[in-house]
Amino acid sequence: MPIRRLVLDVDMAVSEPSLPQLARAIEDVPGVQAVNVTVTEIDVETIGTDVTIEGDDLDPRAVQRAIEHTGAVVHSTDEVVAGTYTLERTPRKR
């Protein structure tokens, strides 16, 4: 089943890479069609981001290698969408 979306919690240093550098490195991974990098936290030394990646058949390991090559680190994988189409999350009612 092809992976169509990944949402990753990515931490990076304040100095390197820049947000556009990170986005371009991810965009260069085969299968990636769109990347969204959103800053969630800024610390003295680090920036926390949520990275949403979409494509037809994503390779999570290749994406992680591209991110690490920039000097950033994948802290966690927060969402994976797989299948023949993209299924949007439906909040659970409690």
pLDDT tens for 3-33 read 999 999 999 999 889 999 999 999 999 999 9
CATH superfamily of 3-82: MTH889-like domain (3.30.70.1340)
> Where are the chain's structural domains?
3-82
**Encoding tokens for residue 26?**
């991810």
pLDDT tens for 30-65 read 999 999 999 999 999 999 999 999 999 999 999 999
Supply the pLDDT for residue 88. 79
Supply the pLDDT for residue 89. 77
If phi > 0 it is left, if psi is from -120 to 50 it is alpha, else beta; for residue 87 that is beta
Distance between CA atoms of residues 43 and 59, nearest Å: 30
Q: What is the pTM of this model?
A: 0.89
In the predicted structure, residue 85 carries a pLDDT above the cut 90: no
